[in-house]
Structure 1
Amino acid sequence: MADGSTRRKEGWATYAYILLYIALSSGQIFFNKWVLSSKEINFPYPLGLTLLHMVFSSVLCFVLTKVFKIIEIEDGVTPEIYVTSVIPIGAMFAMTLWLGNSAYLYISVAFAQMLKAIMPVAVFILGTLVGLEIMSCRMLFIMSVISFGVIVASYGEVSVNWVGVVYQMGGVVGEALRLIFMEIFVKRKGVRLNSLSVMYYVSPCSALCLFIPWIFLEKSKMDSAGTWNFPPLILALNCLCTFALNLSVFLVISHTSALTIRVAGVVRDWVVVLLSALLFADTKLTVINLVGYGIAIAGVVAYNNHKLKKEASRLSTEGSTVTENQENSEEVRLIPVPTGQGT
């Protein structure tokens, strides 16, 4: 009886973590759009906003791990690994955040989310080029389905701003490169870290990569516009939500499986697309939009399923058992660590 009660409590806790992840991830995307929008908070500095996220995350990670020692960071990152792996990952992470948030100045949240569905295609193409993926008829078909769906969804967009599209696709390329570097980080160097440990090492590097272009591209604009009088409470809350999102991913990964986090991600994507039409005036969904996005998501689900089966087959062949730490590292490798976009 007690065992049944314990299992029920654990089950409800798992559902709570998943719902928390979906709520925070969706909310962070809407929050960023709200802060950047000229019709709302009017803080049109995506580079500055992303820099704040990374600085806040770096400071909070340090305080929680080194001062209060609430969270334990996994070891294994040597100076050589930091230079050859963490810095490239941090640079691509910074690129993804910067360009992805910049896209919100030009295109709607829903359209940006639809364009993000092309991510598996970018990851697969780059992975094939560096020898991490193998081209097959099955994968070619899946990539074609995703690409076709994104094209249909784009065709159905009422007003396409190509500047925003370029920014978003640049963010997709940056994220794909980050995942490729993570793949190499885990497979070839054998370092396995959970999502919070990754944020501890990557956030300071990303902050530095963002600080340099911010000095040249946005600081002078903020000085001339007097934007230093920005609402500190709003921006602090925005940064806190970003960190809470990272924590929710850690909780979901720790208490569920790789499949669960992928399903939750698909549900989150649909929530963002549909709710954005109600929350933002610049979002005008069409039937062609939704049909195309549905096709793309079907391809993404097939891709995730293929990757999970491939990984399960590899583990079975090696005769190894999937431990909790391996599940964590697999998630870090294949699931984007939540960014300032809420991705």
Structure 2
Amino acid sequence: MASTRDVEMSRVDEDRETFLPPPAQQRRSTETNYPPALVATVVAFYFIISLAVVFLNKFILSSSEYKFPYPLFVTWFQLLAALGLLVAWAYLGQYKKLFSIIPPYEFDFNIAKRVAPLTVVYVLMLAFNNLCLQYVEVTFYQVARSLSIHFSILFTYIILKKKTSTAAIGACAIVFLGFVIGSYGEINFSWEGLLYGVGSSAFVALYGIYVQKSLAIVDNNQWRLLHYNTTLAILILLPMVVLSGELTEIMNNVQFLDEFGFWLLMTVTAATGFGINIAMFLQVKYTSALTNTISGTAKACVQTMLAAVIFKNPISVTNGIGILLALFGSGYYGYIRYKERVSR
């Protein structure tokens, strides 16, 4: 669930790994000039909803009065809530044009079997993502997961046999340098968080490639794919929650399961996760590919600054340099890929 930039371009967007990218070919060959106020509103909505996804997840996992360090269960609950919202939105779409972007819910077992490999990658991506967020500060979150670009290039070459330009590889070198320097300078460094971040990056890259391969199964309709992916992810992740011991620990150790405030926080967080689908759809429809690239990079910068203020995350000089390099390299990579596409 991310923007309709092509899969490699979507690597520069922070939250794209949690959300399904629509097919790149849906973008019109000629961009429509929409009113600046509309474009600004759409970008602002994307900023707010995507920042909320990261901060609310961090808040639940390690910072709130309802501290709930069970990332697999949190992910499973969010998927369950997202499926409910998806079905409700699709139902309303049959009667209200405003909601008509999502087709009626469907689940065909034969199609589901073909989508299943994508869902396995999707589940692992979500799990590693929330595990990373649990162990690292939000200021370091961007750096810990910045290698998704590198894995994308690697897997694209291995699986799709596509080469990457020298300029794009140069941008990746800047990101990697930022990753190393930022990791070295991180004050609250966590090997677990770093490893989960690298794992998340790898599955983000694989997910993008598998989405490209899977869209044809559902006639290149990203919303139909979302139906199958979300449903299968719920079924696959539930045994992982049980086998990990999280469910037992929750039942034995958590004292606030009967509190309305806790479930409200969990539901709001899940709703923002679903909302990013709508935000991405609107941003792709009403803005250009270049605007998407700039927006994603700017959002990552704002996210880092807000994290330092809200969570009081300490940032050393070395860590700050690493963060800036990773952000600059990611943005530069996105710009290069954009220029390469428009010049074809």
Would the TM-score normalized by the shorter structure come out above 0.5?
yes
Change (3 A) 1:38 1:13: closer
Q: Distance in 2 between matches of 1:137 and 1:12?
A: 38
Partner residue, 1:239: 270
218-227 or 44-53, which deviates more:
218-227
Partner residue, 1:169: 198
Shift of 1:73: 3.7
Q: Identity over aligned residues, as a percent?
A: 22
Structure 1, residues 198-239: CA drift from partner, whole Å, max 9, x if none? Answer: 433321122222112012221111111145335221211111
Residue 142, structure 1, aligned to residue 167, structure 2? no
Partner residue, 1:260: 291
Change (3 A) 1:201 1:309: farther
Residue 59, structure 1, aligned to residue 84, structure 2? yes
**Preserved contact between residue 107 and residue 227 of structure 2 (Cα < 8 Å):** no
Shift of 1:136: 4.4
SS at match of 2:135: coil
Shift of 1:192: 2.6
Partner residue, 2:327: 297
**Preserved contact between residue 88 and residue 178 of structure 1 (Cα < 8 Å):** no
Residue 223, structure 1, aligned to residue 268, structure 2? no
Letter in 2 for 1:193: N
SS at match of 1:37: helix
Q: Distance in 2 between matches of 1:64 and 1:74?
A: 9
270-279 or 290-299, which deviates more:
290-299
Q: Distance in 1 between matches of 2:117 and 2:33?
A: 43
Shift of 1:293: 2.1
Shift of 1:8: 9.9
231-240 or 73-82, which deviates more:
73-82
SS at match of 1:267: helix
Letter in 1 for 2:316: T
Q: Distance in 1 between matches of 2:42 and 2:92?
A: 26
Letter in 1 for 2:66: I
Letter in 2 for 1:14: V
Partner residue, 1:307: 337
Letter in 2 for 1:199: L
Partner residue, 2:280: 249
**Preserved contact between residue 51 and residue 207 of structure 1 (Cα < 8 Å):** yes
Q: Distance in 2 between matches of 1:288 and 1:193?
A: 44
Letter in 2 for 1:48: F
**Preserved contact between residue 92 and residue 100 of structure 2 (Cα < 8 Å):** no
Shift of 1:132: 4.3
Q: Distance in 2 between matches of 1:116 and 1:99?
A: 10
Partner residue, 1:324: none
Residue 203, structure 1, aligned to residue 234, structure 2? no
Shift of 1:163: 1.0
Shift of 1:13: 1.5
Letter in 2 for 1:235: M
Change (3 A) 1:203 1:77: closer
**Preserved contact between residue 50 and residue 97 of structure 1 (Cα < 8 Å):** yes
Shift of 1:296: 2.1
Structure 1 unaligned spans of 5+: 1-6, 315-343
Letter in 2 for 1:303: Y
Partner residue, 1:3: none
TM-score of the two chains, using structure 2 as the length reference: 0.80
Counting matched residue pairs gives: 304
Change (3 A) 1:256 1:67: closer
Partner residue, 2:113: 83
Q: Distance in 1 between matches of 2:221 and 2:338?
A: 19
Q: Distance in 2 between matches of 1:177 and 1:8?
A: 34
Structure 1, residues 265-321: CA drift from partner, whole Å, max 9, x if none? Answer: 10110111111111114x21122222222222222223222322333344xxxxxxx
SS at match of 1:303: helix
Shift of 1:160: 1.1
Letter in 2 for 1:254: K
Structure 1, residues 108-147: CA drift from partner, whole Å, max 9, x if none? Answer: 0111122222211111111111134314433332222211
SS at match of 2:35: helix
Structure 1, residues 88-119: CA drift from partner, whole Å, max 9, x if none? Answer: 22222221221111122221011112222221
**Preserved contact between residue 36 and residue 43 of structure 1 (Cα < 8 Å):** yes
Structure 2 unaligned spans of 5+: 1-31
SS at match of 1:154: helix
**Preserved contact between residue 93 and residue 103 of structure 2 (Cα < 8 Å):** no
Residue 102, structure 1, aligned to residue 131, structure 2? yes
297-306 or 235-244, which deviates more:
297-306
Structure 1, residues 49-101: CA drift from partner, whole Å, max 9, x if none? Answer: 111111111111112213652334469998665433x3222222221221111
TM-score of the two chains, using structure 1 as the length reference: 0.80
Partner residue, 2:18: none
